[in-house]
Structure 1
Amino acid sequence: MTTAVSTKTPAKTTKKAKKPAAGAAAAAAIVNDVPAMTGPNPFVGLRPEDMVSTAQQIGAQCVQEPTLLLQQQTKLAQDLFAVVDGSAPPPCTRDRRFGDPAWQDNPIYRMALQGYQAWRDALTGFVTGSVMDGRSKERAQYFTDLLIDAVAPTNTLLGNPAALRKTFESGGLNLVSGLVNLLTDTLTNQGMPSQVDKSAFRIGKDLAATPGAVVFRNDVLELIQYTPATANVHARPQLIVPPQVNKFYVFDLSQGKSMVEYLLRNEMQVFMVSWRNPTSLHRDWNLDTYVGALIEAIHAIRDITGSPDVNLHGACSGAMTMSALMGYCAARGEKLVHSATLMVSVFGLDSQSQLGLFATPEAIDAARQGSQARGVLDGGELGRVFAWMRPNDLVWNYWVNNYLLGKAPPAFDILYWNNDTTRLPAGLHGQLLDMLTLNQFSTPGALRVLGEPIDLSAVDCDKYVLAGMTDHITPWKGVYRSVRAFGGNTEFVLSSSGHVQSLINPPGNAKAKFFLNDAQTADPEAWLEGAAVTPSSWWEHWSEWLKARSGPLGAAPSRLGSDRHAPCADAPGRYVTEA
């Protein structure tokens, strides 16, 4: 998909859309259309014993609150009787799992769906009405949601009209193919349904294919400089810092979805960090290791471009590393960073966050000990936790596709990247646990980087902060609260999309929108209430913000690298392909 670059300024666009009430209404519509996101912290994981404990709590409530249990049982019996005698209201089919017309037209399927929804409502009503404390109730709701999703009729052959039709049409060949897929996933994917056809893409050909060269390499990272796409470029270079838990090419996906490509077309000099995938030999790598490697990369960029500083861009844990670097520079009085873009990143788990429902002290200790014993936190483990945070989309959807319908998993670039996992060294994993659970970034002096106590309020460069309204990994309110630890000016932008979809947001999507509000308030809800909605991609607004902070235009460099930092490999480099 090729998209055109808009030349409209954000100021004009915002003025046209500056209707706070309409913006709040649009936001409410988006939120109401998405289920509540609760779940485990990916860096902590989800232990079987925590799930067993939660189930025991629910069982204890059945004993302690017999009146509530009887009420829900009575309501369920009444709802099921209404289903049988035909007086039940039509089933809700907003859930895309039940989008097949048979769920409305076939009386057997319609009754099955009505019965399933009645049972779901009774179970949810019991948890909601219980006297458990708030956090325990949220854990119980997560557990019951997993159970409700798992036993959905669409996950069975007889309960899935599309799969049943496919079986009759193919003479059962879909079930044979599904069995092969199941055996393959059991042997090669630890029993999880495959989300993507991994043979459909090649790194450097289909993905991460923007021309460039590796101009610097150390033990921790490779630095890629991309070939300019315009005759003139802005003087100040852009350095993208990806998360350590993923490979860098989420910023350089297929043509039309590449942020690198977009920045190059907008006359930017673009550099990219490609982190090395650590093994147990690198168990001691920690935040100091990564920040130190970034500083080396910035000095290489300064030598190549002649610019005294850079604009930094990072997402998720990459933005946390960036923030540690900026805090270090502020403590040392070094001016290496002119402005920063921080995307979908939280710095701590505040009391209102649901991301760490199972992040108990025991679970945190177990997670720390596990990575220390192995030397790394395996990327596959992270991927499984992410999947079980949205099981309908990332587990059961592929269960139906792969095993019941007997189809091959789709060829989708984002899912390919998502499944191309990396490892975290035990040292950094332990520090991330401390940073998130102890809110070290929000407490001046609580975190030391390369020996310097960090105070983010001393980081006074301009910042552009992006959050995703439907983000289940880094909830937008947590992002909003996190960045208030910074000093200086911050432009907070709220995209209408989720975690990855907010990042990959090229112009041209008619459904894209984002929210802006210049008012300063500690309450994210109050910020959203007064926000203006802009119906376009935030990339366009960001590019204008960035151009104002990227220096004057001049002739693009005629070669990549410099005498001191000559190209040593073509992009995308060596580290991105290492297993």
Structure 2
Amino acid sequence: SNSLLNPLAVKELFNTGGQSLVRGVAHLLDDLRHNDGLPRQVDERAFEVGGNLAATPGAVVFRNEMLELIQYKPMSEKQHARPVLVVPPQINKYYIFDLQPNNSYVQYMLKHGLQVFMVSWRNPDPRHREWGLSSYVQALEEALNACRSISGSRDPNLMGACAGGLTMAALQGHLQAKHQLRKVRSATYLVSLLDSQFESPASLFADEQTIEAAKRRSYQRGVLDGGEVARIFAWMRPNDLIWNYWVNNYLLGKTPPAFDILYWNADSTRLPAALHGELLDFFKLNPLAHATGLEVCGTPIDLKQVDLDSFTVAGSNDHITPWDAVYRSALLLGGERRFVLSNSGHIQSIINPPGNPKAYYLDNPRLSSDPRAWFHDAQRSDGSWWPLWLEWITPRSGPLKAPRLELGNATYPPLGPAPGTYVLTR
């Protein structure tokens, strides 16, 4: 089916008088020149960041070398006093949380009375090769302090996704070691691995020699290019992410679809060499599974001492962060814990707006030590998990009050409109 003998390709060839083959060859040559030889997954001409994506009104209210902090304008008559500070992954841009109005998690939160602040990581280049996890934690702590100052709340709620969840957990462990954990009220983890012991197709290549070679390669270059990570993930699901577009783009000569999530996925970022090396060690050594196994900003991290309420979401079809490893990650935390299993993959678990008739999730308030036992006793509920999370976060978000329409404050004045400047850097 991946050759010109594909019956659909033969039919299209006759129907178009050979034009499908001409267009397919043009697509192939363009991808060989400009997309590292992989078929494009999306028509990138259909989207613009700050236009029809990442368009929720707001302002950059804080900027340091590593991140911009966006504060969004209210979308409800009253807002809760305690804000949510969202920490996206470093390997992708933040606007997965703010695609279009119909699937924007940011707008869902705003319309239900939550204050929202968003971290937008800078896309590093070789000059930033020494940025490691401690650098990101320190930058995130500065953003947290700005959020506290602007909102007037001493303890915002945190939300982190994928590697952003790992960074958020490291920050909480660092604050706990400094006896400053009171700066955070609760934490929401989305498809985040804290326990890195699991089997995946990528682990077949994770021997000592390969890991050290990968570290040397990224240090020589200064960064790990996001396109390399995207290729690894694509070849973990080749039928869906490669051959499907091979047939559509080359054999049928068609333009790939205009799909906002795939546009975001193609808008990848780079990882600084130091953080890349630390992440490789993280998957090799699984340091957070042990008390004081990881040191950040000069302080040892013990997640069991992070006794905050937490809400964890995993995806049953997630091939990047398997759900049982995410479940075990939730068990590493102290405090009151809630775990929910969505019926989706890595991204669709997050972008799960109400209204999808195929969506459902599993919930079981009793967390056992065995994920299979939890799964056996879990109850299925149709629909999105977003309303369930809203029920959980609302009592942790403080009293309702009239929203402040001015963004920023005297200490942190607005620096420019959302989506900011860092997100636009290729």
TM-score between the two structures when normalised by the length of structure 2: 0.98
Task: Find out whether 1:254 has 2:100 as its counterpart.
Answer: yes
Query: What amino acid sits opposite 2:113 in the alignment?
Result: E
Query: What amino acid sits opposite 2:167 in the alignment?
Result: T
**Deviation, structure 1 residue 255:** 1.4
- Range that drifts further, 349-358 or 481-490: 349-358
Structure 1 distance, partners of 2:369, 2:294, is: 23
Give the SS at the match of 2:349: helix
Picking from 366, 379, 385, the partner of 1:538 is: 385
Q: Which residue is 1:478 aligned to?
A: 325
Q: Which residue is 1:233 aligned to?
A: 79
Q: Deviations over 1:520-553 (max 9, x none)?
A: 2111111100000000100010011010110000
Picking from 519, 524, 548, the partner of 2:366 is: 519
Contact kept? 2:200, 2:319, Cα under 8 Å: no
Q: Which residue is 2:12 aligned to?
A: 166
**Deviation, structure 1 residue 349:** 3.3
Q: Which residue is 1:331 aligned to?
A: 177
Structure 2 distance, partners of 1:229, 1:464, is: 24
Picking from 418, 443, 462, the partner of 2:290 is: 443
**Deviation, structure 1 residue 348:** 3.9
RMSD: 0.9
Structure 2 distance, partners of 1:462, 1:562, is: 29
Q: Deviations over 1:454-486 (max 9, x none)?
A: 000001100000000000110001111122111
Q: Which residue is 1:417 aligned to?
A: 264
**Deviation, structure 1 residue 351:** 5.1
Contact kept? 1:212, 1:227, Cα under 8 Å: yes
**Deviation, structure 1 residue 365:** 0.7
- Range that drifts further, 339-348 or 503-512: 339-348
Q: Which residue is 2:197 aligned to?
A: 350
Contact kept? 2:198, 2:325, Cα under 8 Å: no
Picking from 353, 364, 376, the partner of 2:223 is: 376
**Deviation, structure 1 residue 355:** 4.8
Runs (4+) of structure 1 moved beyond 2 Å?
Answer: 351-355
Task: Find out whether 1:192 has 2:14 as its counterpart.
Answer: no
**Deviation, structure 1 residue 352:** 4.8
Query: What amino acid sits opposite 2:347 in the alignment?
Result: V
Structure 1 distance, partners of 2:135, 2:125, is: 15
Structure 1 distance, partners of 2:82, 2:196, is: 34
Give the SS at the match of 2:49: coil
**Deviation, structure 1 residue 283:** 0.4
Contact kept? 1:347, 1:436, Cα under 8 Å: no
Picking from 537, 540, 553, the partner of 2:400 is: 553
Task: Find out whether 1:314 has 2:160 as its counterpart.
Answer: yes
Give the SS at the match of 1:223: strand
Q: Which residue is 2:278 aligned to?
A: 431
Contact kept? 1:348, 1:435, Cα under 8 Å: no
Flag structure 2 segments of 5+ consecutive residues without an equivalent. Answer: none
Query: What amino acid sits opposite 1:314 in the alignment?
Result: G
Picking from 103, 112, 128, the partner of 1:282 is: 128
Structure 2 distance, partners of 1:570, 1:486, is: 37
Give the SS at the match of 1:565: coil
Q: Deviations over 1:103-157 (max 9, x none)?
A: xxxxxxxxxxxxxxxxxxxxxxxxxxxxxxxxxxxxxxxxxxxxxxxxxxx1011
Contact kept? 1:353, 1:478, Cα under 8 Å: no
Structure 2 distance, partners of 1:530, 1:311, is: 29
Structure 1 distance, partners of 2:18, 2:85, is: 53
Contact kept? 2:73, 2:405, Cα under 8 Å: no
TM-score between the two structures when normalised by the length of structure 1: 0.73
Structure 2 distance, partners of 1:519, 1:238, is: 26
Query: What amino acid sits opposite 2:259 in the alignment?
Result: F
Aligned residues: 425
Q: How does 1:34-45 map to 2 (within 5 A)?
A: none
Give the SS at the match of 1:502: coil
Q: 1 or 2, which has the higher helix percentage?
A: 1
Contact kept? 1:458, 1:487, Cα under 8 Å: yes
Structure 2 distance, partners of 1:518, 1:199, is: 45
Give the SS at the match of 2:396: coil
Do the aligned partners of residues 450 and 463 (structure 1) sit closer, same or farther apart at CA in structure 2, a change above 3 Å counting? same
Structure 1 distance, partners of 2:73, 2:34, is: 38
Q: How does 1:23-34 map to 2 (within 5 A)?
A: none
Contact kept? 1:316, 1:343, Cα under 8 Å: yes
Q: Which residue is 2:335 aligned to?
A: 488
**Deviation, structure 1 residue 357:** 2.1
Structure 2 distance, partners of 1:175, 1:258, is: 38
Q: Which residue is 2:144 aligned to?
A: 298
Structure 2 distance, partners of 1:343, 1:549, is: 18
Q: Which residue is 1:364 aligned to?
A: 211
Flag structure 1 segments of 5+ consecutive residues without an equivalent. Answer: 1-153
Task: Find out whether 1:407 has 2:254 as its counterpart.
Answer: yes
Query: What amino acid sits opposite 1:163 in the alignment?
Result: A
Contact kept? 1:355, 1:474, Cα under 8 Å: no
Structure 2 distance, partners of 1:236, 1:457, is: 25
**Deviation, structure 1 residue 443:** 1.2
Q: Which residue is 1:459 aligned to?
A: 306
Structure 1 distance, partners of 2:389, 2:234, is: 30
Contact kept? 1:241, 1:314, Cα under 8 Å: yes
Structure with higher Rg: it is 1
Identity of matched residues, %:
55
**Deviation, structure 1 residue 368:** 0.8
**Deviation, structure 1 residue 346:** 1.4
Q: 1 or 2, which has the higher strand percentage?
A: 2
